[in-house]
């Protein structure tokens, strides 16, 4: 259920109200590398948001550190639960920017039923359509954090499932063997499980759908005692951490989910220099890089802020 604008505003206000960044955990001021101070950004209180899962928390911190390096005084409004809520926070004016995914915007917000196969064409279509909603899209990352269905090795060896067509056939032939763990959002989204069932022509019985918190899905599927299959994000470090195998989307149902900065158009017009801050960062966040950074947070237990600072420094953006 979508929350009211007032509820979202109240929620955002409660999240790290007035919090800004500028020093790391040791109290050291964030340095300057290839990102140079921009006079027009001096003291600008850009409100940065994110969704609640690890990759989004990481991307939010990358934006915060980059803005600080450019001379702004960003406010941390990250960790909003649910895609629709953080989107509403942006469109209602409660926050100024966050990283969103092209596939999510196309299917969930813009209500398009057919994804565009070419990633650049998909991005261009989203950017053009979303302008009418007061949302500006800046350069996309080549990383593809697409939804996927993964299987643990023991279940794969027992069932022989390698593709989503194989999985659909198993669900129709032996539903108990296709027992699947899914998250609340994936269960209801058009680009989630309902759309997957429709596209691949199967209907998994309710007792074989195990609704879990997204973070719990990875170890649960890894163990294989509750379900042998599960919804995952392709760039999540826990896929490798749990030795899961991503099934091939052989009918190309899932859209491309390239993360890109989405910013309130009024803020984009006020601070156009921000685009030059984020474009080179987005370009370096390919799938392998983002997956590795996610692993540091989700598997190795590092803080998103630490991983963000370390990567921006190692990539030469800050010093």
Average pLDDT of the residues of the chain: 90
Residue 271 structural domain: 5-144+257-314
Instruction: Kindly state whether residues 169 and 279 are assigned to the same domain.
Output: no
Q: Which residues contact 85 (CB under 8 A, 6 or more apart)?
A: 2, 3, 8, 11
Q: Is residue 13 over pLDDT 70?
A: no
Name the band, by pLDDT with cuts 50, 70 and 90, for residue 311: very high
Average pLDDT value for residue range 108-121 = 91
Q: Is residue 174 a part of any domain in this protein? A: yes
The phi, psi pair for 127, rounded to 5°, reads -60, -45
Instruction: Kindly state whether residues 17 and 127 are assigned to the same domain.
Output: yes
Q: Which of 5-14, 63-72, 188-197, 297-306 has the lowest mean pLDDT?
A: 5-14
Element (H, E) at 19: none
Instruction: Kindly state whether residues 184 and 276 are assigned to the same domain.
Output: no
Average pLDDT value for residue range 111-134 = 94
Length of the chain measured in residues: 319
Instruction: Kindly state whether residues 136 and 270 are assigned to the same domain.
Output: yes
Q: Is residue 14 over pLDDT 70?
A: no
Average pLDDT value for residue range 240-249 = 94
How many domains does one find in the chain?
2
Q: Is residue 28 over pLDDT 60?
A: no
Collapsing DSSP states into helix, strand and coil, what is residue 263? strand
Q: Is residue 252 a part of any domain in this protein? A: no
Q: Is residue 80 a part of any domain in this protein? A: yes
- CATH number for the domain that contains residue 263: 3.40.190.10
Residue pointed to by tokens 């999240």:
15
């Amino acid at each position: 259920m979508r929350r009211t604008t007032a509820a979202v505003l109240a929620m955002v206000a409660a999240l790290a109200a007035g919090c800004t960044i500028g020093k790391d955990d040791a109290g050291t001021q964030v340095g300057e590398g290839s990102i140079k101070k921009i006079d027009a950004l001096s003291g600008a209180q850009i409100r940065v948001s994110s969704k609640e899962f690890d990759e989004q928390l990481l991307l939010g911190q990358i934006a915060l550190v980059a803005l600080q390096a450019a001379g702004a005084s960003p406010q941390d409004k990250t960790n909003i639960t649910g895609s629709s809520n953080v989107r509403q926070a942006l469109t209602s004016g409660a926050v100024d920017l966050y990283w969103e995914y092209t596939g999510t915007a196309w299917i969930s917000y813009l209500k398009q039923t057919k994804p565009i196969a070419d990633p650049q064409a998909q991005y261009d279509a989203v950017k053009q359509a979303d302008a009418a909603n007061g949302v500006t899209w800046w350069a996309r990352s080549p990383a593809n954090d697409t939804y996927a269905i993964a299987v643990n090795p023991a279940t794969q060896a027992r069932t022989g499932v390698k593709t989503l067509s194989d999985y659909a056939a198993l669900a129709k032939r032996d539903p108990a063997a296709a027992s699947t763990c899914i998250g609340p959002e994936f269960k209801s989204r058009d680009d989630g499980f309902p759309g997957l069932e429709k596209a691949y022509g199967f209907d998994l019985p309710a007792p074989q759908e195990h609704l879990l918190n997204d973070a719990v899905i990875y170890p649960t599927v890894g163990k294989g005692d509750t379900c042998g299959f599960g919804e995952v994000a392709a760039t999540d470090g826990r896929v490798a951490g749990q030795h899961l195998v991503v099934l091939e989307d052989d009918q190309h149902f899932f859209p491309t989910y390239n993360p890109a900065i989405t910013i309130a158009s009024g803020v984009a017009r006020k601070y156009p220099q921000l685009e030059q801050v984020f474009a080179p960062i987005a370009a370096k966040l390919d799938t392998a890089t983002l997956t590795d950074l996610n692993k540091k947070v989700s598997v190795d237990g590092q803080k998103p802020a630490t991983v963000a600072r370390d990567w921006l420094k190692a990539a030469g953006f800050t010093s």
